[in-house]
Structure 1
């Protein structure tokens, strides 16, 4: 009898501990985490792993998709595109996949849209038909597949609404992820012939507002993900795109300011720190820009704090830790700048090729290459490598954090890495 009581108390203690851990865990609801800028507050993340070591689970994900995973409670969500023929076929089932966080088991995968030969648009060889990352408010999931459609689903996969009103001709496929702003879902749509920013009503999927970007250039397409910031107590949506980055009112989309540059196929998500917006301009030669977002109208000549054109990334987003700004170029050159002045502090070749955005967690910076190797460094004014770990599988998706573990998506599998 006493043994039974002790066992019951132990079980109860474990349940209370697990519940408290879940309550304390941060929410990884969107691309690049809680702030959208690649920061995690979690501790004790792993620094060593391999395809067989410190792998809590790995699960085959059907189809192909380069969206990053998100975590909602005890579930993980990723989008994917599944074809009965091949990954290059125009016939694609655009799906949302839900996994159990603890076991990695697929709980369900559901088709949200179906792409046919008639509706398909050509994608870049490095892109997928499911590249935008889902986003959640903890109650529902929003998914976006470019012009093919946007949808809201319950956490159990039931469709609340679907829309394909955001029509535009994509170039190289879809890319930018949506963000939640109050009662709206905001999406940048920079296509081959049309450039606009749209807000959908989160409850109905109807267009709440739509703002044309009026870009006059031969190559109009980009793949930006907006960032919500607050400047002088007022919210604004920062939207990077072809030849311009701009700040907009969440209420009606009205432009607050814009800064012109030369660049297209813009992929990195902006970050905001030290009163500055940091963004890169992608092709043909990327520039790193530090912009003061407190202006009005055209601020091209007045609000650029500093810029740099040396070994700047086309694809990976930037990262600020303390007073330093970190980047890794597509060709594997990592750099550290003074965030306030733009002074180069150090430059190091880490090797490999890069598309995924870096992560800062538990006092460490994680860079993940397209070849599946993660280089971990200590932030600071000197380059200090902590370790390297290789999954030996291609990956372009960015990290997600779940408690004291990492979620890493390769081309065919999703890994949960722990200590």
Structure 2
């Protein structure tokens, strides 16, 4: 069977079970000559500047609504062109997200005014070049990645033309640079979001043809370093964490959790865990890193700053990422079961079946956890180890894949309304109604 399948791959006759492999050319920071530098703090308010806010989903302790409907506590709502799982980011007076249309086939970035929801600009990143439908999961889109911004650059990553392209736009939507970082053999599409470290933007591209991590100079798009990750398809975004005072870039997938020096891409440690494919992004309490998944195996793990296992269990939280308040670790499984574990030792404090199915990742604000299911129900419950305590359950639209952003007094939700060919997407700004009389 193996010889037959291999021959079919060579002859180009097989469409399932084989893929084109492309050797990954590694680049060191010494070879590139790129200087990794601290960048002066932006004068722009980086309220929620990248995937999960860059804080693992922890919002500032500002008060935002816990109840809403389509008609109440809605400051504004705006049309979103096409479809995407790209979550909104909040930078200065802009809300920015990625999307994609089928007719015409375009991958694009859209910016909205934070105060009013008015569309400020729309930039087409790619026309044509979409992967075949059989190589993209039925739940996925052509715009899964959430953007990252340092206040000057808005950076996004797309699978297009069987390569991963990283693109930077300016605050007015103008193209600043675009870089092809490598080939990508798609099994179910591309998902990871970029993260920013000092003057680098870092992008993951695990795939069955030869995966890699890349650090690019955010000012020019030049590749500073690239590290091979093996030929396995996985979907997690890297996370920047500070463990015992040391900056580390941590990512799961390929049956391990791996830590890299974010400035150089050099491997610090790796620990066998979880599974071949993972989707969630790791979270940290400053001493430990937590992650869960995956496919085909199931495991939730706690790893210390040097890569040693602290505790584990057999629970699988695959698509949604975990979240921690520093003392407790919370997870909502794809099948709608919420868990609370002790972060230090893994003791299960409670679990509760919420019902429904989940892809969106939770956020914590003012002692409450916010998370939406795939039917558009937004659950708000206490971030407490004592018991599961539902604060509210709010319906908005018919589905929700993207994760919310929280900034100031508002929550920003991307939701789907309707179904089939009639389905459209909206961006909602949820904020308490003003008490001022006109």
TM-score bucket (shorter structure): 0.7 to 0.9
CA distance in 1, matches of 2:292, 2:301: 6
Shift of 1:209: 1.0
Alpha-carbon distance in structure 1 between the residues aligned to 2:205 and 2:108: 21
TM-score normalized by the length of structure 2 = 0.83
Distance 1:234 1:344 in 2: 29
Aligned residue number for residue 166 of structure 1: 182
In the superposition, relative to structure 1, how do residues 370 and 118 fare at CA in structure 2: closer, same or farther (>3 Å)? closer
Q: Is the 8 A contact 2:255 2:277 kept in 1?
A: no
C-alpha distance after superposition, 1:165-187 (max 9, x if no partner): 32221221110101011121111
The whole-number CA distance in structure 2 between the counterparts of 1:186 and 1:26 is 18
> Secondary structure at 1:32's aligned position in 2?
helix
Match of 1:334 in 2: 338
Residues 261-299 of structure 1, C-alpha deviations (whole Å, 9 max, x = no match): 35133110000115110011311232101001225xxxx
1:403 equivalent among 405, 408, 412: 408
* Contact 1:170-1:191 at 8 Å conserved across structures: yes
**Counterpart pick for 1:391 among 396, 401, 404:** 396
* Deviation (angstroms), 1:120: 7.8
User: What SS does structure 2 have at the residue aligned with 1:356?
Assistant: coil
Q: Matched residue of 1:174: which SS?
A: coil
Q: Distance in 2 between matches of 1:24 and 1:196?
A: 32
Q: Is the 8 A contact 1:49 1:55 kept in 2?
A: yes
Structure 1: 5+ residue stretches without partners: 1-22, 86-91, 296-302
Which among 302, 318, 328 is matched to residue 324 of structure 1? 328
CA distance in 2, matches of 1:286, 1:177: 23
**2:290 match: secondary structure:** strand
Does residue 93 (structure 1) correspond to residue 106 (structure 2)? The answer is yes
Give ranges in structure 2 of 5+ residues lacking alignment: 1-42, 417-424, 433-438
Contact 2:46–2:90, Cα closer than 8 Å, also in 1: no
CA distance in 2, matches of 1:224, 1:65: 17
* Counterpart contact for 1:42–1:403, Cα < 8 Å: no
Write the distance in 1 (CA, Å) between the matches of 2:355 and 2:243. 38
Between the aligned partners of 1:345 and 1:316, the Cα distance in structure 2 is 20
Contact 1:274/1:340 (CA < 8 Å) preserved in 2?
no
Match of 1:134 in 2: 147
Normalised by the length of structure 1, the TM-score is 0.86
RMSD after superposition = 1.9
1:203 aligned counterpart, secondary structure: coil
Confirm or deny that 1:33 pairs with 2:53: yes
Say which of 153, 165, 168 aligns to 1:152: 168
**Length, aligned pairs only:** 378
The residue correspondences of 1:234-249 to structure 2 (distance < 5 A) are 234-249=246-261
